[in-house]
């Protein structure tokens, strides 16, 4: 599914109404999706008993636009389903019945005065007192219609919520915030806070994901970003699929793109992968990348390394085979490579320019699809015009510092323009670029660009990249038995599986202290979770 700007979203919504989907229906669906997301994230316990309900307070904040209309739908659904829940509504401004399209719900509620306007000092005191008692704020102040800096009364409301949330962050009953579509104050195109913005735990982006939400500026505000269905006709969404906008990778894509596992398959079917990894300094990387590739389904994996690395690895991993690789053994290594279908080069290799130069010049390696990571990338960055001699269409998995080295730019420049940086590099080098980080970007030489729908700090740990490289290698070797395999889709699958394993690890252990090794047994479970209908988006 494509990532869109607010203008593109408006256009799609307009087309939906032309296809006879009433605006009010979109809004009802929007509110219902947000409510479901609240339950799913356990911000409210749908099955809570009477005592729980009576003691739980939800504050609905509605602005004058359709974002406020969505909030009113949430309010109505919560009241219907959990009648004892304390639901209070505050209006920041008088809703306009003809603003954009139909937000009659907001208007009617406002006219009926079932909520309270924040006008004078008394209203403000009521709002602040209620906020102290509140467990969940539903933010419908401003959505994609944000048109200027946030100032005055609205800025005060947002600041007050942020402060109370911060003050109660370690309370047994913290204040949670769910943002409808975008956190109020965040520009949905750029991700920048327009003066001030609300800090949410969960953002339910509606219809199609807004491109600003995946920028690093927005990360501080969005919390977890999830997609809310508003019932757009599938044809409309499909029409957009052929555009060159960035794609948000969905679990449905991954299900279709994962290499098939025929029951009649044997280890040869799923392919032999050569992993070239490890050095005296980095003894963990070969373990993590080799085992990850096997956990991702490679038929047979050989670790090519020095004797020392092999001795350490053999004590830890019995399923893969080993091959000694030094400059002295290169020619026999090159011969053996003929039996392999793909190779992974780089994790923990250290600065080994001579070996890498000779390795990449070997004919049998030039014929293989490659994953190049870590020290493999650093070697390329030290080599002038390396992309001229490297075969095309391999997977390169740089983090921002590695991409900065490869492109002779700075980390700041990469981080400020993650999509563009990855896309330009992919086109210039003729390689699939996986730019790691929150919302990992995957770019293909033909211009396709995708964003993984997850920002999980549990994955920000040493060795996590080795696991990702291993997963990509394991998938690549399975896919490469088909002449027309699509490296870009394989890279998307690798990133998504890694992120799903990270999500499972976070559920088990939280986001602090997950080890890269914890991910390994979770890789097959991540595949299963996706097949069973779980998703990151």
Ligand X SMILES: NC(=O)C1=CN([C@@H]2O[C@H](COP(=O)(O)OP(=O)(O)OC[C@H]3O[C@@H](n4cnc5c(N)ncnc54)[C@H](OP(=O)(O)O)[C@@H]3O)[C@@H](O)[C@H]2O)[C@@H](O)CC1
Q: Which residues are annotated as a binding site for (6S)-NADPHX?
A: 66-70, 143-149, 181, 285, 348, 399, 466
- Asked if 30 touches ligand X (CB under 6 A), the answer is yes
Minimal distance, residue 5 CB to ligand X, in Å = 12
- Asked if 375 touches K ion (CB under 5 A), the answer is no
Minimal distance, residue 383 CB to K ion, in Å = 48
Q: Out of 43, 146, 180, 196, point to the residue binding K ion (CB under 5 A).
A: 180
Query: 345-379 burial, b for 16+ CB within 10 Å, e for fewer?
Result: bbbbbeebeebbeebbebebbeebbbbbbbbbbbb
Minimal distance, residue 193 CB to ligand X, in Å = 11
- Asked if 233 touches ligand X (CB under 6 A), the answer is no
Residue 179 near which of ligand X, K ion, none (CB within 5-8 Å, type-dependent): K ion
Nearest to 232 by CA among 33, 516, 471: 33
- Asked if 146 touches ligand X (CB under 6 A), the answer is yes
| Strand stretches in 185-263, DSSP E | 202-206, 224-228, 247-248
Nearer to ligand X, 65 or 494 (CB): 65
Q: Out of 115, 143, 246, 286, point to the residue binding ligand X (CB under 6 A).
A: 143
- Asked if 449 touches K ion (CB under 5 A), the answer is no
Q: What is the DSSP letter of 259?
A: P
- Asked if 37 touches K ion (CB under 5 A), the answer is no
Q: How many residues does the chain have?
A: 537
| Strand stretches in 136-201, DSSP E | 136-140, 176-180
Minimal distance, residue 210 CB to ligand X, in Å = 8
CB-side neighbour CA atoms (13 Å) of 277: 37
527, with CB counted inside 10 A (0-12, 13-18, 19+), is buried
Minimal distance, residue 71 CB to ligand X, in Å = 8
Minimal distance, residue 209 CB to ligand X, in Å = 12
Q: Out of 139, 402, 503, 518, point to the residue binding K ion (CB under 5 A).
A: 139
- Asked if 201 touches K ion (CB under 5 A), the answer is no
Q: Which residue reads 């969005």 in tokens?
A: 222
**Rule CB under 6 A: which of 98-117 touch ligand X?**
99-100
- Asked if 495 touches K ion (CB under 5 A), the answer is no
* Distance from C-alpha of 141 to C-alpha of 402, rounded to nearest angstrom: 40
Q: Out of 115, 145, 278, 398, point to the residue binding ligand X (CB under 6 A).
A: 145
Nearest to 72 by CA among 97, 98, 108: 108
| Residue 106 neighbours by CB under 8 Å, 6+ apart | 62, 64, 68, 69, 71, 72, 91, 95
Residues of this chain that interact with ligand X (CB under 6 A) are 10, 13, 26-27, 30, 63-70, 99-100, 142-150, 154, 180-181, 206, 230
């Amino acid at each position: 599914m494509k990532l869109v700007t607010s203008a593109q979203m408006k256009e799609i919504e307009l087309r939906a109404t032309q296809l006879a989907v009433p605006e009010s229906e979109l809004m009802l669906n929007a509110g219902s999706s947000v409510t479901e997301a609240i339950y799913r994230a356990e911000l409210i316990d749908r099955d809570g008993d009477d005592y729980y309900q009576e003691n739980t307070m939800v504050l609905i904040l509605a602005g004058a636009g359709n974002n406020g209309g969505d909030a009113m739908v949430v309010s109505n659904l919560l009241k219907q389903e959990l009648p004892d829940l304390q639901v209070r509504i505050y209006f920041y401004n008088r809703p306009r019945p003809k603003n954009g399209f139909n937000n009659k719900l907001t208007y009617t509620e406002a006219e009926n005065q079932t909520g309270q306007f924040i006008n004078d000092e008394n209203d403000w005191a009521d709002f602040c007192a209620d906020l102290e008692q509140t467990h969940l704020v539903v933010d419908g102040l401003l959505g994609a219609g944000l048109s200027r800096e946030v100032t005055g009364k609205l800025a005060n409301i947002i600041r007050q919520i942020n402060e109370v949330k911060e003050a109660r962050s370690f309370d047994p009953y913290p204040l949670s915030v769910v943002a409808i579509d975008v956190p109020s104050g965040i520009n949905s195109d750029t991700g920048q806070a327009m003066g001030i913005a609300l800090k949410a735990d969960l953002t339910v982006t509606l219809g199609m994901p807004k491109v600003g939400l995946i920028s690093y500026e927005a990360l501080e505000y969005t919390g977890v970003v999830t997609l809310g269905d508003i019932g757009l006709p599938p044809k409309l969404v499909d029409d957009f699929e052929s555009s060159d906008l960035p794609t948000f990778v969905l679990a449905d894509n991954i299900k279709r793109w994962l290499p098939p596992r025929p029951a009649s398959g044997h280890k040869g079917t799923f392919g032999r992968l050569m992993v070239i990894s490890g050095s005296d300094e980095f003894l963990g990387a070969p373990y993590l990348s080799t085992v990850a590739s096997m956990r991702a389904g490679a038929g047979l994996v050989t670790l090519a390394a020095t004797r020392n690395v092999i001795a350490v690895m053999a004590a830890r991993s019995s399923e893969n085979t080993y091959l000694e690789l030094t400059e002295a053994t290169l020619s026999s290594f090159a011969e053996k490579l003929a039996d392999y279908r793909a190779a992974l080069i780089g994790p923990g290799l250290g600065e080994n320019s001579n070996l890498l130069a000779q390795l990449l010049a070997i004919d049998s390696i030039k014929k293989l699809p490659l994953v190049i990571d870590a020290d493999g990338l650093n070697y390329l960055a030290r080599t002038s015009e390396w992309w001229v001699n490297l075969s095309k269409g391999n997977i390169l998995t740089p983090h921002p510092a590695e991409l900065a080295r490869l492109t002779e730019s700075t980390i700041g420049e990469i981080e400020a323009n993650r999509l563009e940086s990855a896309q330009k590099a992919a086109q210039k080098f003729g390689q699939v670029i996986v730019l790691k980080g929150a919302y990992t970007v995957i770019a293909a030489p033909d211009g396709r660009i995708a964003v993984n729908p997850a920002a999980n700090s549990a994955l920000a740990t040493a060795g996590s990249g080795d696991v990702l490289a291993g997963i990509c290698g394991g998938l690549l070797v399975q896919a490469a038995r088909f002449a027309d395999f699509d490296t870009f889709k394989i890279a998307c699958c690798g990133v998504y599986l890694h992120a799903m394993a990270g999500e499972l690890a976070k559920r088990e252990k939280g986001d602090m202290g997950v080890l890269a090794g914890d991910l390994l047994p979770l890789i097959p479970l991540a595949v299963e979770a996706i097949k069973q209908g779980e998703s990151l988006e």
